[in-house]
Amino acid sequence: MPERKEYRDKSWWLGASPYEESPPLSGDLEVDVAVVGGGFTGLNSAYYLKQHDPKLKVAVLESEVIGYGASGRNGGFAMTRLGWNMAYLVWALGVERATPAHRFMLECVRHTRELTEREKMDCDLEYNGLMVLARTPGQMKSLERDLHAYEKLGIKDCEILEGGHFRERLNSAWHIGAFFEPDTAILNPAKLAREYKRVNAAKGVEFYERTPVTRFQPGRPCLLQTPSGRVRAEKVVLAVNAFGTRLGVFKNWYVPMFTYIIMSEPIPERAYQELGWTRREGIEDKRQLVHYLRLTADNRLVFGGRDAPYFYGNATEGRESHAAIFQGLEADLRGMFPMLKDLKITHRWGGPVACTLLFFPSFGYWQGQENVAYAMGYCGHGVALSSSAGKIITDLLYGRAKKYEDLFFVLHRPVYIPPEPLRYALANGIRLSLRAFDTITERNAPR
C-alpha cells in the first residue's frame, strides 16, 4: 500500500475543522465517468456531470483526501486573472481573442459566488474586489497600462487609487497607489472543497479517498488501476493538475512551481483599526513574483508569494516548507505594516502550482481520445476558473466542444517544456530573472 500522507498540516484551512474521510476503493468498480483527482477541477466536474445527467454513475478517485492538493492550500482568491496580467493577455492574444477569454474569467468569478449561494456552500466567501499595489512610479505606470488594457476590452469599472483615495483603503508603509478591480472574491478553500463533496455526494457521486490511480489505460472502456481495485469507466476526467507527472500525464506541458504562505493569529482590534483595510479586498502587488495577502473570516492575515521555486524532477511532495521564503515573507509583512510588528505568525505552508510556459491553462482531450477530458495549467489562478472547469469538461465529453471555439485555451495544448536538466535551468532561470527584475525596480522603493 502507498504511504498515507497527513493532510491536516498541509495548510491552516485543511487542519482548522474536523473532516471525515470516505473509505478507499475496495474491489472492482464500473462507472460511467471516473474523475481522477479530488481538487476543485475534479469536484466541479463531478457537479456538472450530474447536472448533465443525474443518472450518470460518477466516481471521484482521490489519492489522499479531498482538497489535499492546491485546492486545500491556496490563498482563496477567486479572480479574473488569466496569464501574467491584463496587459500581457492583450499583448499575447490581441484584443479580439483576449476579450472572450477575459469575459469568461469574469463569469467564472461571478459564477463562484452564484454556485456557492445556490448550493448553500458555507465557505466564508466575501465579494470585496482586488487591489493591486504599486510601490514605485514605474509600477504605477504599469498599473495604468493594465487599466488601459481593461478599457480596450470594454471593462470600465476598474480604477486607479492614489494619494488619499489609496490611503483610506490601506495603511501600507511601502505602497503609493493601487489598481482596483471590483470582481474578485476571497473564500476559505478547504471549506469550499468539502462543501463540494457534500453537495456532490447528495447528488449520488461516489467518493473514494486514499485511492491513487497508479495506472491509466485509455480505451473504450478506460481502465484505471488503484492499489485495492480496478475501475472500468466509459469516460474519464483527468483532474490531477500539478500532480500530473505522478500518473505520467502532462509531462512536457508544465512545471510544478511552489508558492508559500504564512498566516498570523487574528489581528488584535487596535492594530486592525490602524491597518485601515476596511473593505477587506484581496490584495496583490505589482511585482513579477507577487505578494498576495488577504484577511480570513476571523481576521487572520494570509500573506504569500514573493518567490516561486521549482524543484528538480517535478517534485510535488516534501517541499511544503521553505525557511528562507518564510523568513522573507515575515520581514516583508512587518515592513509593509509596522503596526503588525508584534503579530504572531502561527502557520506556514506551501504547495505546487502547475505553470505552463506561456502562463495559460489548457483544456482538451487526452491524447485525442474524446472520452478522456482534462484541465490543467492554471498557473496559480485556478480558484475562479475551476468553478467552470467542470462545465467545459462535461461539454467536451458530451459532444459540445464547439461552444468553446472562442476560448483560446480550450482544445489547445501548452508549449513544450524540455526534460531535465534543461527544465530545471529554464524554470529557475525564468524565476531568477523575475526576482532580479523585482530587486532592481524596487531598489529605491520605500522600506
Ligand X SMILES: Cc1cc2nc3c(=O)[nH]c(=O)nc-3n(C[C@H](O)[C@H](O)[C@H](O)COP(=O)(O)OP(=O)(O)OC[C@H]3O[C@@H](n4cnc5c(N)ncnc54)[C@H](O)[C@@H]3O)c2cc1C
Residue 351 CA from chain centroid, whole number: 10
Distance CA 203, CA 254 (A): 34
Minimum gap (Å) between residue 103 Cβ and ligand X: 17
Identify which of residues 69 and 177 has a Cβ nearer to ligand X in the complex: 69
Identify which of residues 217 and 273 has a Cβ nearer to ligand X in the complex: 217
Residues at the interface with ligand X (CB under 6 A) = 36-42, 61-64, 68-71, 73-77, 79, 212-213, 239-243, 246-247, 259, 261, 304, 350-353, 378, 380-384, 386
Minimum gap (Å) between residue 114 Cβ and ligand X: 17
Minimum gap (Å) between residue 440 Cβ and ligand X: 26
Angle between helices 86-118 and 382-397 (to 10 degrees): 80
Closest CA to 133 of 338, 269, 321, 286: 286
Distance CA 161, CA 177 (A): 5
Identify which of residues 140 and 281 has a Cβ nearer to ligand X in the complex: 281
Minimum gap (Å) between residue 88 Cβ and ligand X: 16
Burial class of residue 439 (count of CB atoms within 10 Å of its CB; 0-12, 13-18, 19+): exposed
Identify which of residues 176 and 263 has a Cβ nearer to ligand X in the complex: 263
Distance CA 265, CA 303 (A): 12
Distance CA 74, CA 349 (A): 10
Tell the residue number behind the cell numbers 489505460, with chain if given: 217
Identify which of residues 308 and 339 has a Cβ nearer to ligand X in the complex: 308
Minimum gap (Å) between residue 393 Cβ and ligand X: 11
CB 91 within 8 A of CB 245: no
> What is the identity of the amino acid at 338?
P
Identify which of residues 49 and 247 has a Cβ nearer to ligand X in the complex: 247
Closest CA to 34 of 239, 192, 203: 239
Q: What is the DSSP string of 356-392?
A: -TTS--EEEEGGG-TTEEEEE--TT-HHHHHHHHHHH
Minimum gap (Å) between residue 134 Cβ and ligand X: 20
Identify which of residues 34 and 140 has a Cβ nearer to ligand X in the complex: 34
User: Nearest-CB residue to ligand X?
Assistant: 382
Minimum gap (Å) between residue 294 Cβ and ligand X: 8
